[in-house]
């Protein structure tokens, strides 16, 4: 797909969910690399740099996006001709997409081991990694029941209940504010992540942090399903994850909002769940406690403290 089309689809959330966004960005860079017509390697690199910036600027929170873009762009490292750069970038994009798809599958297999026969699982938003765990448990023949939230304001819960329904999984659809009422019926909460910081905090769809609090109070475990490219290297430097605040029209008719001059409508798309409320993060490399986030950043994303020191 063309770069600008992909960027627009990510911005408008036609393409959404951190993993899907990352794969779409990788594909868009590959497509762009095939269209830049020049023999000048410097010009090629500049064009690809611009493309990378366009993609990264679409949505600020899902760190899978800059991580994917960085991985694909590094495919050009060492290239001395446009042809080498294009081939390297194309290979990197292909291997990112493949690895991402395998990662989700592997997370499903590992995550399913944490879901027991007879369990009631609650999930929030529409996460392919979280759903992979639930679907894998179901495929293994475990009798499970799911509570799925509506997910105001964009209703991603509708996508989730369609998938669960099609798989033949008994599902309860609830409004976000009903979580506390049902949490004592739930054995396990499984969510995805848009970013995991170096201290193990999980950034995910708005409402996740409230669910984590309710789960903590009810002694219900919270498992986060997150590929290693959801971990945020630059949080080592103290950089914070930017929480996207979207158009108020998603929450309230702008005409109504305009008639209420003393009311400010807020629409943050994500929130932060501290590590102490997260029992386990299931990655494709295995399940880890959130406190091991730095090891993932160092061992699988290739960033460590020495690299950052060099950058200063």
Q: Any idea which residues carry the catalytic annotation?
A: 125, 194
**58 contributes a contact to ligand RUB by CB under 6 A:** no
Among 72, 115, 214, 269, binds ligand RUB (CB under 6 A): 269
One symbol per residue from 122 to 151: x for binding ligand RUB (CB under 6 A), - otherwise; what is it?
Answer: ---x-xxx----------------------
Q: Which of 224, 171, 166 is nearest to 195 (CA)?
A: 224
Q: 3-state class of 186 per DSSP?
A: coil
Residue found by looking up tokens 């105001």 in the block: 152
Say which DSSP state 231 is in. Answer: B
- Contact residue for ligand RUB among 3, 19, 44, 190 (CB under 6 A): 19
Asked if 67 is part of the footprint of ligand RUB (rule: CB under 6 A), the reply reads no
Q: Using CA atoms, how far apart are residues 65 and 251, in angstroms rounded to an integer? A: 25
Among 6, 17, 48, 278, binds ligand RUB (CB under 6 A): 17
- Distances in whole angstroms, Cα of residue 163 to Cα of each of 20, 88, 128, 166, 173: 16, 36, 10, 5, 12
Task: Please tell me whether residue 156 binds ligand RUB under the rule CB under 6 A.
Answer: yes
The least distance separating ligand RUB from the CB of residue 115, rounded to whole angstroms, comes to: 16
Please name which of 237, 223, 228, 239 lies closest in space to residue 196, comparing C-alpha atoms.
Answer: 228
Q: What does the per-residue mask of binding to ligand RUB show for 210-239, with x meaning CB under 6 A?
A: ------------------------------
Closest approach of Cβ 12 to ligand RUB, in Å?
A: 11
Looking at the DSSP bridge assignments, the partners of residue 229 are none
Short-list 234, 293, 242, CA closest to 270: 242
Angle between helices 3-11 and 41-56 (to 10 degrees): 20
Show the binding pattern over residues 191-210: x = contacts ligand RUB (CB under 6 A), - = does not: -xxx---------xx-----
Binding footprint of ligand RUB on the chain (CB under 6 A): 16-20, 62, 125, 127-129, 156, 192-194, 204-205, 269
């Amino acid at each position: 797909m063309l770069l600008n089309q992909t960027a627009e689809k990510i911005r408008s959330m036609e393409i959404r969910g951190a993993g899907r966004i990352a794969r779409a960005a990788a594909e868009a860079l590959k497509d762009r690399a095939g269209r830049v017509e020049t023999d000048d390697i410097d010009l090629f690199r500049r064009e690809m740099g611009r493309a990378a910036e366009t993609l990264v600027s679409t949505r600020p929170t899902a760190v899978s996006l800059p991580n994917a873009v960085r991985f694909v762009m590094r495919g050009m490292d060492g290239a001395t001709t446009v042809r080498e750069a294009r081939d390297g970038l194309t290979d990197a994009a292909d291997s990112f997409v493949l690895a991402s798809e395998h990662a989700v599958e592997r997370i499903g297999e590992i995550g399913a081991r944490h879901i027991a026969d007879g369990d009631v699982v609650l999930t929030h938003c529409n996460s392919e990694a979280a759903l992979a765990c639930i679907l894998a448990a179901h495929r293994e023949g475990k009798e499970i029941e799911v509570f799925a939230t509506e997910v105001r304001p964009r209703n991603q819960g509708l996508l989730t209940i369609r998938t669960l329904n099609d798989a033949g999984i008994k599902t309860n659809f609830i409004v976000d504010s009903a979580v506390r009422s049902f949490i004592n019926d739930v054995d396990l909460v499984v969510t995805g992540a848009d970013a995991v910081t170096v201290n193990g905090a999980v950034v995910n769809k708005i409402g996740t942090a409230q669910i984590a609090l309710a789960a903590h109070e009810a002694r219900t475990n919270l498992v986060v399903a997150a590929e290693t490219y959801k971990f945020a290297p630059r949080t080592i430097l103290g950089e914070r994850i930017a929480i996207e605040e979207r158009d108020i029209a998603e929450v309230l008719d702008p005409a109504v909002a305009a008639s209420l001059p003393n009311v400010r409508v807020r629409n943050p798309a994500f929130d932060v769940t501290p590590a102490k409320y997260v029992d386990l993060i299931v990655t494709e490399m295995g399940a880890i406690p959130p406190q091991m986030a730095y090891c993932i950043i160092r061992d699988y994303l290739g960033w460590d403290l020495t690299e950052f020191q060099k950058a200063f």
